């Protein structure tokens, strides 16, 4: 008996091959009956119990989807065969290969009824055009109505860019360093054992400011300026600054910790209810 891993691998390859063949039948207008539908369904059914992960189930669904398209082509093929327009392509191809150019043209001319179309100016449209031209104002008069605003180019100052929110008033790294310093000061003043409650640090007078502080705190943790200590049972989160920034990338798998900073929590913290 094949080991399970090997069987899954073979199953995947088989489904991928089926998808490829179905696709080429669709794209290159090959005979849709080249595909044995029963056999394909048999293969899909055989490997279906093996699929556990979403990718494999998607592959299975894709195979069924492709097969459905081929079945549609088969049905169209049958329909076409039953119409009066159907001719055996091989027979027709043979005729086309053998027919002489002159005979082909003569045959085509019996079935060709070209469109009659004229492109001609009439006296009426000419008179109309002249009337239009006479009433048309010269360009310099028409364009008077749309004065173009003159824009002078000059150097923008740093203050202007800050006002337009293109630049921040401090470089981000500088801002982060200051925020780290603030964390260290607060831990010294209000903290215990070198750490401070998360909400005691991020909480501020306004909700907007609180969100801004939570945002900066997330960068302190990501960039290795601080770490989070989570006590799930007590539902307590502490933030602990490092003495020196540490880089964790590559040493340990990083995890994301979502912390909700909702307006409701902020109100509770303000009222001293968030312990």
Partner 1 sequence: MSKRKAYYASKIKRAIHLLFYRRHKKPGVKGWELRKALGSDYPKVLKILDDYLKALDLQVKTVFEEEKPVEKPTLEQLDKARFYITLRGELTPKEAKMIGWRIDDLAGLAMTIAHIISKKGKAPREEVEELLRDKLPGWKVGLNIDRYVRYGYLTQDENEQLYLDWRTRAEVDQKALIDLLLKTQA
Give the nearest distance from C-beta 23 to partner 1 in angstroms: 11
Q: Is 161 in the site for partner 1 (CB under 8 A)?
A: no
What is the C-alpha to C-alpha distance for residues 236 and 220, in angstroms, rounded to an integer? 19
Least separation in angstroms between CB 74 and partner 1? 12
Interaction of residue 126 with partner 1, rule CB under 8 A: no
Query: Is 46 an interacting residue with respect to partner 1 (CB under 8 A)?
Result: no
Looking only at residues 1 through 40 of this chain, which bind partner 1 when binding is defined by CB under 8 A? 27-29
Tokens of 80: 């076409």
Interaction between residue 113 and partner 1 (CB under 8 A): yes
Please state the φ and ψ torsions of residue 262, each to the nearest 5 degrees.
Answer: -90, 160
Radius of gyration, alpha carbons of the chain = 38
b/e map of 48-59 (b: 16 or more CB within 10 Å)? eeebeeeebeeb
Q: Tell me which of 106, 159, 160, 188 binds partner 1, using CB under 8 A.
A: 106
Task: Point out which span in 117-125, 138-146, 150-158, 186-194 binds partner 1 (CB under 8 A).
Answer: 117-125
User: What is each CA distance from 242 to 35, 103, 121, 190, 227, in whole angstroms?
Assistant: 65, 92, 86, 16, 7
Q: Kindly state whether residue 82 participates in binding partner 1, applying the rule CB under 8 A.
A: no
Give the rounded distance of the alpha carbon of 65 from its chain centre: 22
Choice between 104 and 137, CB closer to partner 1:
104
Residue 144 makes contact with partner 1 by CB under 8 A: no
How many residues would you count in the chain? 275
Query: Which residue do the tokens 């080249």 mark?
Result: 34
Question: Minimum CB separation from partner 1 for residue 34, in Å?
Answer: 15
77 binds partner 1 (CB under 8 A): yes
Confirm or reject binding of residue 57 to partner 1 (CB under 8 A): no
112 near partner 1, judged by CB under 8 A:
yes
The gap from C-alpha 120 to its chain's centroid, in whole angstroms, comes to 51
- Closest listed residue to residue 59, CA positions, set 23, 2, 14, 5: 14
Residues within the interface to partner 1 (CB under 8 A): 27-29, 76-77, 80, 84-85, 87-89, 91-93, 95-120
């Amino acid at each position: 008996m094949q080991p399970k891993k090997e069987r899954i691998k073979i199953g995947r390859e088989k489904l991928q091959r089926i998808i490829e063949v179905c696709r080429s039948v669709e794209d290159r207008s090959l005979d849709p009956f080249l595909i044995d539908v029963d056999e394909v369904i048999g293969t899909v059914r055989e490997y279906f119990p093996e699929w556990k992960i979403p990718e494999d189930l998607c592959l299975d669904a894709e195979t069924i989807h492709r097969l459905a398209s081929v079945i549609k082509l088969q049905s169209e093929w049958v329909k076409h065969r039953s119409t009066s327009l159907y001719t055996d392509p091989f027979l027709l191809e043979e005729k086309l290969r053998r027919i002489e150019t002159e005979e082909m043209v003569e045959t085509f001319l019996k079935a060709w009824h070209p469109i009659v179309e004229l492109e001609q100016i009439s006296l009426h449209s000419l008179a109309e055009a002249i009337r239009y031209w006479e009433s048309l104002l010269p360009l310099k008069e028409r364009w008077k109505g749309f004065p173009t605003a003159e824009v002078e180019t000059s150097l923008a100052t740093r203050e202007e860019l800050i006002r337009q929110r293109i630049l921040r008033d401090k470089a981000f790294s500088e801002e982060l360093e200051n925020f780290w310093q603030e964390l260290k000061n607060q831990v010294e003043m209000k903290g215990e054992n070198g750490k401070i409650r998360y909400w005691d640090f991020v909480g501020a007078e306004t909700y907007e400011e609180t969100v801004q502080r939570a945002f900066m705190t997330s960068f302190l943790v990501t960039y290795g300026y601080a770490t989070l200590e989570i006590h799930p049972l007590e539902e307590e989160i502490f933030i602990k600054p490092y003495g020196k920034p540490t880089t964790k990338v590559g040493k340990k798998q990083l995890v994301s910790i979502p912390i909700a900073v909702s307006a409701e929590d902020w109100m509770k913290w303000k009222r001293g209810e968030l312990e």
